[in-house]
Structures are given as structure tokens and as C-alpha cells.
Amino acid sequence: MITLPGYQILSTISENDHTLVYRGIREQDQQPVILKFLKQDYPTPSQLSQYQQEYEITHSLNFDGVIKAYSLEKYQHTLVIVFEDFGGESLRVLLHKRLKAGKGVLSLKKFLNIAIQIADSLGNIHAANIIHKDLNPANIIVNSETEQLKVIDFGMATMLSQEHTSANNPHVLEGTLAYISPEQTGRMNRSLDYRTDFYSLGVTFYELLTNQLPCKATDALELIHYHIAKQPVPPYLKRHGDAGCTGRGDEEMGRWGEIPGIVSDIVMKLLAKNAEERYQSAWGLKADLEECFRQLAATGKIEPFPLGAQDISDKFQIPQKLYGREQEIETLLAAFERVSGSSSEEQHKGQRTKDKGQSELILVAGYAGIGKSVLVQEIYKPITQKRGYFISGKFEQFQRNIPYLGMIKAFQELVEQLLTEPEAQLELWREKILAALGSNAQVIIEVIPEVELIVGKQPPVPELSATEAQNRFNLVFQNFIEVFTNSEYPLVIFLDDLQWADGASWKLMQLLMSSSTTGLFIIGAYRDNEVGRAHPLKLVIEELRTIGVTVHQIWLSSLNFAAVNQLIADTLKGKNLEQTKKLAELVLRKTQGNPFFVKEFLKSLQEAGLLYFNRHQITWNWNLEQIQAQGFTDNVVELMTSKIQKLPAPTQRLLQLAACIGNQFELEILAMVNAKSLEETAASLWEAVIEGLVLLLGDAYKLIELKRKQKNEGLSIDTETRGHGDAERGIFMHGGEKIVSIGTTLQNESLIEYQFAHDRIQQAAYSLIPEQQKQTIHWQIGQILWQNTPAQQQQPKIFDIVNQLNLGSELIPSQLERDQLAELNLQAGKKAKASAAYEPALNYLEIASELLRQDRWQTQYKLTLEIYVNFARTAYLCGNFQQMEKLVHTVLCQGQTLLDKVQIYEIQIEAYIAQNQLLEAVKTALSVLKLLGIKLPEKPNKLQVLLGFLWTKFTLRGKRVEDLVNLPPMTDTNKLAAMRIMLMVGSAFYVAVPDLVPLVVFKQVNLSVKYGNASESSYGYTGYGVILCSVMGDIDTGYQFGQLALNLLDKFNAKELRARIYLVVNNLIKHSKEHLKETLQPLNLAYSSGLETGDVEFAALSANAYCYHAYLVGKELGKLEQEMASYSDAISQLKQETALHFLQIWRQVVLNLLGD
């Protein structure tokens, strides 16, 4: 049994995963108390902050309807809250006891008595600006003898007037799931305010009256869907004592009584899905309950009466619903129904649509503040019903160089959702992701580092040529997406502010929408006034339409007068449309009907006292002449600027600094830039939170509040290591005594994140910074990010660091720092290039080259060479061939060694091949090979080929083919470079100068025998095997060289060559010695290997070879045709027209034989 000095513990009241609750006696005055222990021996900072908050809030609510909190005590390394004990028990326990004793639910009189007390308590709680967030029968205590009632458990309560909620996994939602409001689920496209408690109270009343919850569900997602979308059966229609709930039959129904219709209506009003349709004040609810009680006491029955007659709230609340967007919502939801597979009517009939599970793209266009994001979030409800995933990412104006920024943010959100799944479910996701990505998982981790938290550390991927690397990235990302997309569980990706997206994101979106992926719904939003005809978005749309992709467009216009007038009338409760008409005309004239501007303008009127609640008349009033005389601006940025300027100077400064960091920002970074403590920074920023200018993401901010309160109470923080594990824990000190372990400080508080409520607010804050200071701030932010990010963690954050430093690069005081920034830009450029984000990579590398000193080639040769080589390759990949040629020329002039120049020659050769200048590629390759000591004729004749063959035979004399695999590795760097170039130009040789091909093969074999094997040797051995089998008729030896090539592939683990080697061996060699059916499995492997390494040309050719080999060995035609159809679709997606045409010929033969 637990012992706590000064207290005598009498009995256990309850126990769960987090708390232990005991009944006891305080020894100093023999006062009965309730002791609530935090159960964990070493609680987390989050658990401590919740406990601290529960005590602080409860202690501050000093009135009868809330349990009294006497003190917060220490117990070993955790906390205990000491509450009063007024002899009560929870409504849940009370109801359970009544049912067990056969007494049924509460009598109507007892229910109303309890309900009135709860409403009164809730009114006082809300008057103290507290939202409970977890009202339910377990958190309402009543003394059965005195009928006194008190509310308990404020651990989840908030002092914010509004809270931003996210669509988190049901397992981590705050509150008790059966009682939370629709908006508390994060899936209602609105923030949470005090009216969430009314919904929870409605569920509680429903249960007290019927002994049933309003909705029955088998799992959490179904329960959430009920909350947000399904209307419960009114209480008066419920059969009390349903045998399925209580175990009694119809003969006992009589003792349960009837529920008056008006009482049922009160409960249903509380259970309204939209907060605006619920009671707007606890006093209005209490008045209606008291009227019911009065009628019941006077007449024994309750007649209907108008509800909410006294429910006039003095809180200024602009409704969080959409006005004038009915048609746009219908278009959006119809598209989602198509993607998810069936309309609601067809679901009811159990039918499927013919385009079940298709993927779609919808673009929502409109001015800033027009309501694009709010419209898109209307899709939350059907997503929940379909058990799909909604993820969103936002591109940012000042972070355009970060490749895939919006996509990365969206998938970070998805990973966060997956990580909250139970371990068994998370393991299933781990298996699915690894099965889809295979050995290429690191490709995704490079772009979305958080994926590693699910799949664990992954091996590096082989370096490939530019084209193959691009193909690999595209295929791997497509496979990654398909893990989450299917018609059963659709995936919705919302990408906001597409006008600021980078080129790589456009290409990726184009790839995804032109692929065969199903169940993917991409919604993009952009400002159409910032997207001209030549904007990349317009070009992408046209390209998608050209290839047959349907792109739907929603154009959002300003609100018309009717919508503005309705919004104002709904805001000023009790006013009709005629009364608000003149005000609406003025607002429309000032704001041009921009929804964001309309709401901010109304807030400004209320804050200025020009729109006010008249407590005598119990109505909202305004004076049009005074409003007009004020001269409010008709520019929304100016309006937000003036609002920011009314805040305290420290808060203004913080908003300016935050605007430089980005739309989202961490408290830790902001505090460092602000050169203040976390507590001071959070306290100064609180004013902006209260004003709704910035949003708190999550509830980690309570940690700061905990530290502040502990500090005010004279507690300090010590750090020591405890004996379990390696965790370092801070210990609160009070009077020299250790109070409780809280975990390291910054490590946890750094998770506290904020977000600007709207782009226009960030823009307004940024505009307040003098131009000459902006560079300084960006430079400071970059320095802080760089210096405070451990070296091993810099790669995932390299873009954030470099972008900030680049914005302040003109202020760099020394060349040493310029060199350091050049190296960081090189890292950013290489990372962007590795992810096929070539345009951002080009920008980083260009900046890197500009930062280098004038004598760069003499003083910083190694760094300069690496920058220029990567710069040239990226210029070629972007199609900037003139820029590439200039860079190539510079490196060839400045390069100090032949091998330094060879790497730039390789880029030049790749570029020639990409431009189909094959003769130039061959000419350059032959010149480079000559420099490397390899001479090949430009126009070989038959005699030269014959001599080459004879020389190779001579070189191989006395050597067994199977022993060649054991040759030492090639180490001569010049010869390795030559082998690499001959492989690179192989296709160009084959097309432009085919007579050179055998000479190249002979040279590769001779170099391998003389200098040792390289991975490229397998290509030479394969070619030699083909010549022996097909030309010289030496099948046995040719077959042996084919096997040698395969063995060498495995020895060097040369995955990048596997597709082409497997294809050549199994298409041109193997069948000479083995049955053709033995080639099928290897050709399938060649296809998958080609996809894995981005060698899509040879993947497609391997698929074609597999199909006609399968035909020739007599595979069952029906199954073969299905395989051919699948391969045809895949090859079409890969855009490999040559292989597709050959495959279609064979497929048509099969179809003819099948009679189709």
C-alpha cells in the first residue's frame, strides 16, 4: 500500500493506466480527502504538465460546482493532487449502482436537478475562460444524500478561447472518445471553442436518460464518423431498458418511464454537429432546464416551449462555416466519391461504379483569403467514413528552393499518424513499405527522413547515371504512394499554395497523376492572380490534359452580398437579415467580399468597440456613421499590420522574427533568435495566440506553462541521471528538496510549434521589418540552425539552414565564412540532385560557385572542382546545355589531372546522348579513351574486328573461363575510367557506329584479363559470349562466358547492371544450352531489377522477352494474355515505346489464338 506522509489512506476508489485514486484523511485536521497519484514512477514532462495544469486550474476555480484542490504534493519522483472529499461518487458509478439494483435510470426530476447543477457549474467554468474538453459521467461527482454536484478532472482543459485541432489518429485524441465533440476529433474543418463542452454534456445527458450512448460503434474510426456525420435517435424514441443494454425484457419497461419531447429536444440541441446550432451559453441551457423543472413540479408534466429564448451569448463568435460555397463543396465531394469508389446511393445498394478507385486531380483557384483551404477541408467527413488518410502540405514563398517541400510536409504528417498506431498495426505498415520499396527504401528516406522511424535504418543505394537515378526515384516514389492508395482506403493529398511550388514537385505531381495509381486524390490550391500563362502550373495542366488526364478546376470568387449579410446576421445572434443589411453593404464595400478580410474586418470593429453587445437590451449594436468616420483601410495586409502594431513591442518583434523563419516555427529556434529564454519568448508570443494571429500546434506548450509556474513558486531545475536506462532527468527543487523528475529541458520543449493563422498575417509581420534588417535576421536564423544542429542531423535540415544563410549572404564578413557557405550550398545541391530536384539543385550550386573567391582554382581546388562538376551535371539535367558547356570548358581548362577532367567529359558525353547527338558522343568518348591509353578506330573495318577477336583469343589462352571470376579487382584508375566510359557509350556505339561494338567488347575483355575485374567487366564478358554463340558457333564457351558475367554481377553486387546483363544472357545465350523455359524466371528478375535501379529501357525489353519466350514454351494462353496486358500497361507507364510495340505484336498473336 502507498504511504504519503501527513495522510492516512483508507481505500482505493479507482485505478487506470495513468492514475491511482484513493480516499483518505489529512492527519493535521482529520479532513477527509481524495488523493490522486500520478502512477508512473518517472513521468514524462507531458504527464507532469497535465497534472500541474489540473491542479492549477481546479485550484483557481473557487466555487461550489467544481471540486476543491487543496494542494499538490510530492511522492517519490512523481506528484499527488489532494482534493476535497465531499462524499460523492461519479455519475457513472451512481448509474451503474441503480441499474444493478433494478431501479432503472434516474427519475426525470432527479435528472433535471442534476442537469441544472451541471449547467450552472459549466457556466461558471466558461465564465472563467476555461474549456473542460472531457466532460462525461466519470468526471461529474454527486453526493446522493445532499444531491450536491461537482465537476472534476481538468487535466485536458484549456485556457485558450479557441484551439486548433488536427485529424490525429483516434488512439491519441484528447478526451474520452465516446463523448468528444465533432470538432474535437479534428475532422470538422473548424477550431474548438467552449461549445465543445455542450456536445459532451449532450452525450452525458443522453446516457443518463436512456442508459445508452447516442451511437454504437465497433471501433474508434466508426465512432468518430458517428460524431461528425450521423444523427442519433432522439432520446424520447429510445426504448429504455433495451435487453441488449440492460438484460431485461419488455415486462420491466414500465418502471423506466417516458422522456418528454422537450427534454429530448434539449439533448438533441446539445448534440448538434455544428457548434452554432447548439446552445451558445450555459445560462441559456440552464434556463430551459429550469423551465422544465418548474413545469414538472407544478403540473407533473412538461409541455413544449421555444428553446433558447434566453440563450443570447455576449461572446463575439464568427461562425466557422462556409457561406456561398454549396456548389463548390458538391464538386469536391463528388470527385472524392469517384476516387473512393462509390456514391452514397450506390453504397446503399451495394453497387460499384465502373471507374471505381480512379485517381483525380482537382485544382482550387482564388485570391489569398478567398477560402481555398477551408473549402478543401470539407472533405474530412467522407474521408473518415472511408477510413482514408487526409494529409496536407504547404509550399512557402520564402522557401521555394526546398525541393518537394509541400509533399514532404504532407508525408511527414502521414508518418506522424502511422507512428501513433498500435505496435501490431505499425508492424504491418513497416512490412508493406519495405515490401514495396525493397532495397531502395533509402531513396524515400533521403526525401522524407521520418520514414526511417517506421522502417528502421536502411542500406545505401548504388549510384546510378542521371537518367537511371531519375527513373529510380520516380518508380520508388510511385511504389511508396501505392502503399497507401487503394480503393478501400483512399489517400487525399492537399497541396496548398502551388504558385510557390518548385519544379521537382510539378514533375512528381505530373508523374503521379499520369501513372496507373488508383485511389489517389490530389487537391491543389493556388492564387490564380499570381499564376500567369507561362507559370509552370499552367504548363503542367496542359501536359496532363494532353496525355488524357482529367484535371478538374474550381474557381472561388468573392462572397456576394447575400452571403456576407448572412454571415453577419449569424454572427450577431438575434439580428435578422434586414437589420444587418446596411452593415453588410459597408463590409462588402470595404472587403470586396474576401472571406478572410470580412472576418478580420468584423473583428476589428468589435475590438474597436464599434460593434458591441448591449447588456441592457441583450442585443448586438453598432453605429454606421462612427464606423465610416474611422476610415478603416480597404487593404487586408494593412489591416493585419495595424492589428499587429497594437500588440506589445516584444510580441511584435517575435512575429517579425517568426515570419522570417517560416509559416510554421519552433519555439526553441524563435527563442534563440530572440535571445530570450523559452519562458519569456512563449509569454510574449501568448498575446499573438490570444489574438488568433498564430496557432499552437498540439499541447506541448503546457510544458512551458509548467516551467513558468514552477519558477514562480520558487522551484528550480536540477539534472541527474536515474538508474533505469540512460535517461537524463531534471529534478524540480523546492527548498532544497527534490520534487519530481521532468526530463531534459530543451529536448522536449523544442517540440512546441506554432503556425501563422494565415499567410496574410505572416506577410504583414514580414512587411514590418525594415529592409536593411531582413538580411541580418535571416543570417542569424541560419547561423542558429547551423550551429545548433548536430552534424549527423544536418542533412535532413540542410535546405532550411542554407536558405536562411543565403538570404543573408551579402552580410558575410569573411571569405572563410563564404567558403563554408559555399560548401553548405554544395551539400544542398547534391541532396536536391539525388532526389531528382534539379532546378533547386542548380540554384544552390550556382550560389556555391558565386561564393567562391576569385583565385578559387588555386586556393580551393578540391571544393571548386566538386562544385563545378556537380554544377555542370545539374545544368545538363535541367536542359541548360549552353551553361553546361561553359562549365565543362572551365573545368577542362582548370583541371589539374586527367581523371579530374574525365568526370567532366563523362557529363558532356551523357549530355550528347540525351540530345541524341550520338556521333558527338562517340567522337568525344574515343578522344577521352585515347587520353586514357585506349585506342579505338573511328571507322573500323572487318580486318580490325578479326584482329581484335584473335588478340582476345590469344589473351585468354591457357585460362579456364570459370577461373576468370577470381581475377583480382581492377585498381588502375585510368582503366576503370575507360571501362566506365565504354559501358556508358555502349548504346551510342550500337546505333551510330555498330562496327565498333565488337572491338569495344574485345577491349573490355582484354583490359579485365590484364588489369583485373570491375563490375563493368560483366558487360564485356556477356558481349563476348554472344559473339561466340551467335557468330563463331562456339556455344559451349559462349555459354560459359554468359555464366561468368552472371557470377561477376553477384560478386560485385552490381545491381545497376543486372537488368541488361540478365536480358542479354537469357535472350541471346542461355537458350543455346538450356530449355527456353529456364529463361522465364531470370527475365522476370531482370524486369524487377530494371525497375529497382531505374534502368527502365532494359526493364521493358526484359518484359517483352519474357512474354514471347512464355509464348514459345507453350504457356496457357489465357494466363499469358493477362500477364501481357499487365506488362503492356506497365511499359506504357514507363514510356518505352519500342518495347511496347514489339510486345503488342506478340499479344495480338495470343488474342487471335484466343479468338478475341
Tens-place pLDDT, residues 1064-1092:
999 999 999 999 999 999 999 999 898 88
Residue 525 cell numbers, joined: 490550391
Instruction: Tell me which residue of 553, 567, 628, 630 sits closest to 597, measured CA to CA.
Output: 567
| 995, 1021 contact by CB (below 8 A) | no
Please list the alpha-helical segments (H only) found in 768-814.
771-787, 794-807
At 285 the pLDDT is 96
Residue 853 cell numbers, joined: 573567391
| 275, 193 contact by CB (below 8 A) | yes
Model confidence at 14, pLDDT cuts 50, 70, 90, reads confident
Mean pLDDT of 362-390: 86
Q: Rounded to whole angstroms, how far apart are CA atoms 41 and 1012?
A: 63
SS3 867: helix
| 845, 871 contact by CB (below 8 A) | yes
* pLDDT top residue among 240 and 1147: 1147
Is the residue at 699 inside a domain?
Answer: no
Residue 720 cell numbers, joined: 541527474
Residue 653 cell numbers, joined: 518583434
* pLDDT top residue among 531 and 1035: 1035
| 524, 406 contact by CB (below 8 A) | no
Find all residues with CB under 8 Å of 371, minimum gap 6, and list them: 322, 325, 556, 595, 596
Residue 778 cell numbers, joined: 535571416
Q: Rounded to whole angstroms, how far apart are CA atoms 751 and 160?
A: 19
| 225, 268 contact by CB (below 8 A) | no
Q: What is the mean pLDDT of the chain?
A: 87
Query: 192 - beta bridge partners?
Result: 163
| 624, 582 contact by CB (below 8 A) | yes
At 1 the pLDDT is 65
At 731 the pLDDT is 31
Model confidence at 703, pLDDT cuts 50, 70, 90, reads low
Residue 724 cell numbers, joined: 533505469
758: region left, alpha or beta (phi > 0 left; psi from -120 to 50 alpha):
beta
At 17 the pLDDT is 80
Is the residue at 865 inside a domain?
Answer: no
Identify the domain containing residue 1090 by its residue range.
Answer: 1067-1156
Instruction: Tell me which residue of 388, 424, 429 sits closest to 225, measured CA to CA.
Output: 388
In this prediction the pTM is 0.78
Is pLDDT at 152 greater than 90 in this prediction?
yes
Is the residue at 724 inside a domain?
Answer: no
Model confidence at 110, pLDDT cuts 50, 70, 90, reads very high
Is pLDDT at 255 greater than 50 in this prediction?
no
Is pLDDT at 728 greater than 90 in this prediction?
no
Eight-state DSSP code of residue 157:
-
Residues 580 and 613 in one domain: yes
22: region left, alpha or beta (phi > 0 left; psi from -120 to 50 alpha):
beta
At 744 the pLDDT is 33
Supply φ then ψ for residue 993, to 5 degrees: -135, 70
Residues 567 and 550 in one domain: no
At 806 the pLDDT is 94
Each residue of 526-572: pLDDT tens digit? 998 888 877 888 888 888 888 778 889 999 999 999 999 999 999 99
Residue 682 cell numbers, joined: 512563449
Residue 604 cell numbers, joined: 476589428
Query: 1041 - beta bridge partners?
Result: none
Q: Rounded to whole angstroms, how far apart are CA atoms 595 and 323?
A: 9
Angle between helix 815-834 and helix 838-851 axes, rounded to 10 deg: 160
Find all residues with CB under 8 Å of 927, minimum gap 6, and list them: none
Each residue of 1117-1151: pLDDT tens digit? 999 999 999 899 888 878 888 889 999 999 999 99
Model confidence at 242, pLDDT cuts 50, 70, 90, reads very low
Instruction: Tell me which residue of 430, 478, 484 sits closest to 458, measured CA to CA.
Output: 430
Is the residue at 992 inside a domain?
Answer: yes
Residue with cell 558487360: 1019
Model confidence at 700, pLDDT cuts 50, 70, 90, reads low
Each residue of 316-349: pLDDT tens digit? 889 988 998 999 999 999 988 888 875 444 444 4
Eight-state DSSP code of residue 845:
H
At 1112 the pLDDT is 95
At 748 the pLDDT is 45
Neighbouring CB atoms inside 10 A of 533's CB total 6
Model confidence at 167, pLDDT cuts 50, 70, 90, reads low
Is the residue at 496 inside a domain?
Answer: yes
At 713 the pLDDT is 53
Q: Rounded to whole angstroms, how far apart are CA atoms 132 and 1153?
A: 73
Mean pLDDT of 1038-1063: 93
Domain count, the chain: 6
| 694, 688 contact by CB (below 8 A) | yes
Residue 338 cell numbers, joined: 469517384
CATH of the domain at 286: 1.10.510.10
Is pLDDT at 1051 greater than 90 in this prediction?
yes
Residues 506 and 574 in one domain: no
Residues 25 and 103 in one domain: no
| 181, 250 contact by CB (below 8 A) | no
Find all residues with CB under 8 Å of 401, minimum gap 6, and list them: 502, 799, 803, 806, 840, 843, 844
Is the residue at 143 inside a domain?
Answer: yes
| 191, 245 contact by CB (below 8 A) | no
| CB-side neighbour CA atoms (13 Å) of 627 | 24
Model confidence at 40, pLDDT cuts 50, 70, 90, reads confident
Residues 951 and 1017 in one domain: yes
Q: Rounded to whole angstroms, how far apart are CA atoms 905 and 980?
A: 12
**Of 524, 555, 586, which residue is a domain's last?**
555
At 465 the pLDDT is 79
Residues 431 and 536 in one domain: yes
Instruction: Tell me which residue of 251, 235, 241 sits closest to 103, measured CA to CA.
Output: 241
* pLDDT top residue among 793 and 1128: 1128
Q: Rounded to whole angstroms, how far apart are CA atoms 129 and 125?
A: 7
Mean pLDDT of 687-702: 82
Residues 987 and 1047 in one domain: yes
Residue 1082 cell numbers, joined: 531470370
Residues 34 and 183 in one domain: no
| 872, 909 contact by CB (below 8 A) | no
Q: Rounded to whole angstroms, how far apart are CA atoms 272 and 274?
A: 6
Is pLDDT at 967 greater than 90 in this prediction?
yes
Cα-Cα-Cα-Cα dihedral of 1108, 1112, 1118, 1120, to 10°?
Answer: -30
At 548 the pLDDT is 79
Residues 390 and 474 in one domain: yes
| 826, 863 contact by CB (below 8 A) | yes
Is pLDDT at 491 greater than 90 in this prediction?
no
Query: 23 - beta bridge partners?
Result: 11, 34
At 349 the pLDDT is 41
**Of 84, 103, 118, which residue is a domain's last?**
84
Supply φ then ψ for residue 524, to 5 degrees: -115, 140
One-letter-per-residue 3-state SS of 104-144 = CCCCHHHHHHHHHHHHHHHHHHHHCCCECCCCCHHHEEECC
Residues 582 and 543 in one domain: no
Q: Rounded to whole angstroms, how far apart are CA atoms 1114 and 1117?
A: 8
Instruction: Provide the total of helices (H) and of strands (E) in the chain, helices listed first.
Output: 50, 21
Residue with cell 493529398: 493
Is the residue at 718 inside a domain?
Answer: no
CATH of the domain at 538: 3.40.50.300
Q: Are strands 78-84 and 31-38 parallel, antiparallel or unpaired?
A: antiparallel
Residues 142 and 278 in one domain: yes
Q: End-to-end alpha-carbon separation of the chain, Å?
A: 81
Is the residue at 275 inside a domain?
Answer: yes
Residues 487 and 627 in one domain: no
**Of 632, 662, 691, which residue is a domain's last?**
632
Eight-state DSSP code of residue 218:
S
Is pLDDT at 704 greater than 70 in this prediction?
no
Each residue of 824-857: pLDDT tens digit? 999 999 999 988 888 999 999 999 999 998 888 9
Q: Rounded to whole angstroms, how far apart are CA atoms 682 and 671?
A: 8
Calculate the alpha carbon distances from 282 to 186, 198, 1061, 1102 in Å. Answer: 24, 8, 77, 72
